Amino acid sequence: MMLAGAEAALKGIPLHECPYRHPAMRASWLKGFAQEQQQSFKF
C-alpha cells in the first residue's frame, strides 16, 4: 500500500481522489475480492 501511494505521488495521481480508479489500488482490491469469492465457495 505504501509503495502504491509513493508511486501515485511520483506520477502526480491523487490517491484520495478515487481509490478504485487508481490502477495499483484497483489491482489489489480485485485480488482481495477474487480471494474472498474463492473462499466463500469452500464451506
Whole-model pTM: value is 0.33
pLDDT reading at 16 higher than 60: no
Q: Measure the CA–CA gap between 18 and 22, rounded to whole angstroms.
A: 7
- Residue in the block written with cell 478504485: 20
29: domain range? 2-39
Burial, 22: exposed, middle or buried (Cβ in 10 Å; 0-12, 13-18, 19+)?
Answer: buried
As for how many domains the chain has, the answer is: 1
Cell matching residue 28: 489489489
Residues of the chain with pLDDT > 70, as a percent, come to 33
What pLDDT is recorded for position 22? 60
**Structure confidence by residue, pLDDT tens digits, 18-38:** 555 667 767 777 788 888 777
What pLDDT is recorded for position 34? 81
